[in-house]
Structure 1
Amino acid sequence: MKNKTVGITTTIPCEVLIAAGYNVVDLNNIFVTSENYKKFIDIAETEGFPKSCCAWQKGIFGACIDKNFKEIVGVTEGDCSNTKALEEVLDMKGIKIYPFSFPQSHNIQDIKLSIDNFMNTFNVSFDKVEKVRQRINKIRCLVKYLDELTYKENKVSGFENHLYQVSSSDFNGDIYKFESDIKNKIEEVKKREPFTQQLRLGFIGVPPMPCDIYDYVEKFNARFVYNEVQREFAFPRALQAKNIYEQYYDYTYPYDIKFRLKEIKKQIKERKIDALIHYTQAFCHRQIEDIVIKNELNIPVLNIEGDRLNFLDARTKIRLEAFLDMLQDLIIMNKQVTL
């Protein structure tokens, strides 16, 4: 019997869905990788979504309708504040909605209750879910190794690092093909000469719509060696978790900014990051977190905002160039002071 397909609005315990015999597809990835991504936004706005609504939410809705999804898992706590309303519109369209929550209490017992309820909804046992988790963790180890090749050996580009980690939310709908693809990618990059860009950047915040940011910064002697949220989608600490409850307790993205910042600070130090680009989406509540981030971190942070475009606009390019020029000047100044 062919597996059924379920769409997801963000990273969730996909182990449960796979154990229940589903193919899991991240609607975000359908939207942002489409050559005609604007049509998904147009579908939502034609339906009545306001101009002031986040483009990601409109893209998710449009992808769901255009690709004729029948079942969706939506995260109603711990992600976008608009997801609940999105689910109500999808439900109106006759689409089956399965809600999931990352409890804001960030209490392990509350997380266990949420995941147990999720397992009960799909009628799968803890043991079966753990077996799937162990299988998937083998793939996550490969993604983690690719990440290490990015910042330890400088052989993986910022975009490649982004792509394989962000794809770990659903493993491109096929864990076996994804495993094969990343093994081939690892063999390819190991044969490369290391990248030589001097500035080491971190990318924090939601994954970007304008993915050309990775290639653009490389024109200015800079390279991304850290993608915060994308890395969390790949669960780099999954092997340290005793079970699925601990794994999703340790997942930083859905919880408060202080919990996220602990891991960000650790990665800044480990990866020797010179500065951060904080990407936020227009009309998103996470924009306000930039205030806390800049107050808590002791390295330069540039906040850039995206909306409907999947490429950098002229203003953002100018701001990035000025920021990277300033960083180069700081490095030269520090070298002179050291001498």
Structure 2
Amino acid sequence: MKNKTIGITTTIPYEVLMAAGYNVVDLNNIFITSKDYKKFIDMAERQGFPKSCCAWQKGIFGVCMDKNVSEIVGVTEGDCSNTKALEAILDMKGIKIHSFAFPQSHDICDIKTSIDKFMNIFNVSYSEVEKVRQKVNKIRYLIKCLDELTYTENKVSGFENHLYQVSASDFNSDIYKFEKDMKNKLEEIKKRKPFTQKLRLGFIGVPPMPCDIYDYVEKFNARFVYNEVQREFAFSRAMEAKNIYEQYYDYTYPYDIKFRLSEIKKQIKERKIDALIHYTQAFCHRQIEDIVIKNEINIPILTIEGDKLNFLDARTKIRLEAFLDMLQDLIIMNGKEE
């Protein structure tokens, strides 16, 4: 990797790093898109990572070791509860560590303090960051258009919606190529005929290890028209924010479940979603939030769990099929089916 490359463990104020001249690489994306992704997990477990540790944390560690990453930003508040421990291990391995925190107070003043501190670390000014933010927002707008075409005109598949939004965490490490690719993709999408699946699903929770879930549900007259966390990574509301502080204040993923739920409920109504799939990652503290989610949302929810596999196992496929069959019956009973 180049000297000015920096790895990130999740979405952070990308605009600060770009203003500082860094090439940003989301370590998660390298991990999950690798054909031999399991080797990264194996590397971590050989170093002593327990079996009961999240596969994403192991994957990040393995990527750092395999790709000789020399500098990273870890999010120690508002993301994985194991990141501090991961940072300690990576520091022991000689990797330069920077930390960023999304303050759990969710107070705009605290968020400003955290981002200002982050800007000071990388020696960039507020005006420099805002200049970059305006450039980045033009690309975020393109992703927003793709997301809207997913549920208004039904011309974008659930996987495409997932892929382009989750890629916004680092813009595939080449923001200019990403912008060109997005423009070409939108032109291609606009010429398509709409998808015809009747069941409209929402995907909530962390992005999945088994990405074949998107193609699988389409076999059962269903399609994902909403990817919750991926949409947050893409900052579809960034254009409405007055500044970088408001943008990251409005980012639901790192804050409490009630704040997340308010946006989820809004999207359920706007996208006319019939049911939700709640994906949880094994050994993640966010699994417990499923209790609150099911208590607060009044449409059907199926909770599935992933661990190390990047494809659906047989048990999960059976549960998905049964759930989608049930939804189809409900739609027929309620007269929605044409």
Residue 311 of structure 1: aligned partner: 311
Following superposition, the deviation at residue 273 of structure 1 comes to 0.1
Counterpart residue type for residue 237 of structure 1: R
Residue 241 of structure 1: aligned partner: 241
- For each residue in 1:152-189, what CA deviation from the matched residue of structure 2 results, as whole angstroms up to 9, or x when unmatched? 00000000000000000000001000001111111111
Q: Percent identity?
A: 85
- Is 1:32 the counterpart of 2:19? The answer is no
Distance 1:247 1:154 in 2: 28
Q: Match of 2:335, SS? A: helix
Distance 2:253 2:211 in 1: 20
- Is 1:148 the counterpart of 2:148? The answer is yes
> What does 1:52-91 correspond to in 2, within 5 Å?
52-91=52-91
Distance 2:334 2:78 in 1: 41
Residue 104 of structure 2: aligned partner: 104
Q: Match of 1:72, SS? A: strand
Q: RMSD value over aligned CA atoms?
A: 1.2
Counterpart residue type for residue 187 of structure 1: E
- For each residue in 1:244-282, what CA deviation from the matched residue of structure 2 results, as whole angstroms up to 9, or x when unmatched? 000000000000000000000000000000000000000
Counterpart residue type for residue 50 of structure 1: P
Is the CA contact (8 Å cut-off) linking 1:112 and 1:245 kept in structure 2? yes
- For each residue in 1:90-128, what CA deviation from the matched residue of structure 2 results, as whole angstroms up to 9, or x when unmatched? 000000000000000000000000000000000000000
Residue 273 of structure 1: aligned partner: 273
> What does 1:182-331 correspond to in 2, within 5 Å?
182-331=182-331
Distance 2:41 2:50 in 1: 11
TM-score (norm 1): 0.98
Residue 23 of structure 2: aligned partner: 23
- Is 1:123 the counterpart of 2:123? The answer is yes
Following superposition, the deviation at residue 236 of structure 1 comes to 0.6
Number of aligned residue pairs:
337
Name stretches of at least 5 consecutive residues in structure 2 with no aligned partner.
Answer: none
Is the CA contact (8 Å cut-off) linking 1:201 and 1:226 kept in structure 2? yes
Counterpart residue type for residue 272 of structure 2: K
Following superposition, the deviation at residue 311 of structure 1 comes to 0.0
Residue 137 of structure 2: aligned partner: 137
Name stretches of at least 5 consecutive residues in structure 1 with no aligned partner.
Answer: none
Residue 174 of structure 1: aligned partner: 174
Counterpart residue type for residue 42 of structure 2: D
Distance 1:34 1:300 in 2: 34
Distance 2:235 2:51 in 1: 34
- For each residue in 1:282-336, what CA deviation from the matched residue of structure 2 results, as whole angstroms up to 9, or x when unmatched? 0000000000000000100000000000000000000000000000010111119
Distance 1:323 1:286 in 2: 23
Is the CA contact (8 Å cut-off) linking 1:3 and 1:23 kept in structure 2? no
Following superposition, the deviation at residue 3 of structure 1 comes to 6.5
Distance 1:3 1:284 in 2: 33
Q: Match of 2:334, SS? A: helix
Distance 1:304 1:267 in 2: 21
Counterpart residue type for residue 52 of structure 2: S
Structure 1's consecutive aligned runs of 4 or more residues displaced over 2 angstroms after TM superposition are none
- For each residue in 1:133-169, what CA deviation from the matched residue of structure 2 results, as whole angstroms up to 9, or x when unmatched? 0000000000000001100000000000000000000
Is the CA contact (8 Å cut-off) linking 1:30 and 1:63 kept in structure 2? yes
Distance 1:284 1:86 in 2: 14
Counterpart residue type for residue 16 of structure 1: V
Distance 1:156 1:67 in 2: 33
Q: Match of 1:215, SS? A: helix
